[in-house]
């Protein structure tokens, strides 16, 4: 490259660096303009900015009781709970559930299944989900259940097909259900081949039956497995 062109390019890049530095300096000196008055002792809620990360408090827009009362009074809630009620009634008629059963519900969502079981007289129902919904559902990862081995008579996972790691999801339900107890899982409605694949995920249970059901308005396939060891 010719010398004078090189010099010109150098000068241009030095000029660019200087002007960028000046701009940065200017930006850091200037206080940003805001549209609220920081000296106002009683700012409106939407004008109140946290001063540090410690300043963040979860804002209780509504109490748990109020929220629950609202959710539980919807038609969608009643319809979903009713569909779980008839689902569990079938399991009861086949002697998989009794009032004295210890039942675990994973992927419990807002607690439709838990509500249906308690309403039906099942005394010990534990509902877990990644996001808690007190008082029906507490927080736990279905892939890492915080329960001892073999303490439940029935473990129910309505959304095996949505699990990130289906084999682990199944293994965790299987682990927490006692020998002779049952694991009940459901997936989007499927055929015999898929059912066979799902059955293979179970390591220590034998296949009891598979059936099409409607759960909370969705057609799903329910699979029952009995824990053998
Ligand atoms: C189970 O509990 C419900 C509600 O308390 C009751 O109506 C039902 O009769 C009980 N079932 C049995 C078999 O005891």
**C-alpha to C-alpha distance for 161 and 168, rounded to whole angstroms:** 12
Identify the band that residue 28 occupies on the pLDDT scale cut at 50, 70 and 90.
confident
pLDDT at residue 33, rounded to an integer: 61
| Architecture of the 68-227 domain | 3-Layer(aba) Sandwich (3.40)
Contacts of 169 (CB under 8 A, 6+ apart): 106, 142, 143, 157, 160, 163
Tens of pLDDT along 77-115?
999 999 999 999 999 999 999 999 999 999 999 999 999
Centre of ligand 1 from the C-alpha of residue 120, in Å: 7
Least confident of 56-70, 104-118, 137-151, 213-227: 56-70
Name the residue with tokens 């009995």: 226
C-beta of 10 in contact with ligand 1 (< 6 A): no
Q: Which of 91, 94, 99 most suits a substitution to test ligand 1, by most atoms within 8 Å of the C-beta?
A: 99
Secondary structure letter of residue 31 according to DSSP: P
Could you give the C-alpha distances from 41 to 36, 37, 165, in angstroms and in order? 12, 9, 52
Query: Which residue(s) pair with 48 in the sheet?
Result: none
Q: What are the strands of the beta sheet with 218-227, ordered from one edge?
A: 137-139, 124-129, 102-106, 152-157, 177-188, 218-227, 205-215
Ligand 1 atom 4 nearest Cα: 121
Ligand 1, closest atom to CA 98? Answer: 13
Q: Which of 91, 97, 118, 120 most suits a substitution to test ligand 1, by most atoms within 8 Å of the C-beta?
A: 120
pTM above 0.85, yes or no: no
Q: Are 106 and 155 in contact (CB under 8 A)?
A: yes
In the predicted structure, residue 35 carries a pLDDT above the cut 60: no
Ligand 1 atom 6 nearest Cα: 121
C-beta of 121 in contact with ligand 1 (< 6 A): yes
Q: Where are any strands of DSSP class E within the chain?
A: 102-106, 124-129, 137-139, 152-157, 177-188, 205-215, 218-227
C-beta of 99 in contact with ligand 1 (< 6 A): yes
Tens of pLDDT along 153-203?
999 999 999 999 999 999 999 999 999 999 999 999 999 999 999 999 999
Q: Helix, strand, or coil here: 154?
A: strand
Show me where the domains of the chain are located: 2-47, 68-227
C-beta of 212 in contact with ligand 1 (< 6 A): no
**C-alpha to C-alpha distance for 7 and 215, rounded to whole angstroms:** 76
C-beta of 89 in contact with ligand 1 (< 6 A): no
C-beta of 119 in contact with ligand 1 (< 6 A): no
Q: Are 157 and 106 in contact (CB under 8 A)?
A: yes
Query: Which residue(s) pair with 103 in the sheet?
Result: 125, 154
Ligand 1 atom 2 nearest Cα: 121
In the predicted structure, residue 14 carries a pLDDT above the cut 90: no
Ligand 1 atom 3 nearest Cα: 121
Q: In this structure, what are the phi and psi dihedrals at residue 117, rounded to the nearest 5 degrees? A: -65, -45
């Amino acid at each position: 490259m010719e010398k004078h062109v090189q010099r010109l390019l150098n000068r241009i890049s030095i000029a660019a660096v200087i002007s960028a530095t000046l701009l940065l300096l200017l930006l850091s000196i200037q206080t940003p303009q805001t549209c609220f008055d920081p000296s106002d002792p009683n700012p409106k809620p939407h004008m109140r900015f946290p001063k540090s990360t410690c300043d963040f408090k979860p804002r209780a827009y509504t109490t748990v009781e109020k929220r629950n009362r609202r959710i539980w009074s919807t038609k969608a809630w009643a319809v979903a709970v009713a569909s779980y009620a008839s689902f569990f009634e079938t399991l009861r008629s086949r002697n998989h559930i009794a009032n004295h059963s210890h039942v675990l519900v994973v992927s419990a969502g807002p607690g439709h299944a838990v509500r249906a079981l308690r309403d039906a007289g099942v005394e010990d129902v534990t509902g877990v989900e990644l996001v808690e919904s007190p008082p029906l559902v507490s927080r736990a990862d279905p892939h890492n259940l915080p329960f001892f081995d073999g303490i439940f008579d029935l473990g129910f996972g309505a959304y095996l097909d949505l699990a990130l790691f289906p084999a682990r999801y199944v293994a965790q339900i299987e682990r927490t259900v006692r020998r002779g107890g049952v694991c009940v899982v459901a997936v989007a409605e499927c055929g015999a081949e898929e059912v066979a694949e799902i059955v293979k995920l179970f390591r220590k249970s034998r296949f009891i039956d598979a059936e099409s059901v409607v759960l909370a308005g969705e057609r799903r396939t329910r699979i029952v497995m009995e824990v053998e060891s």
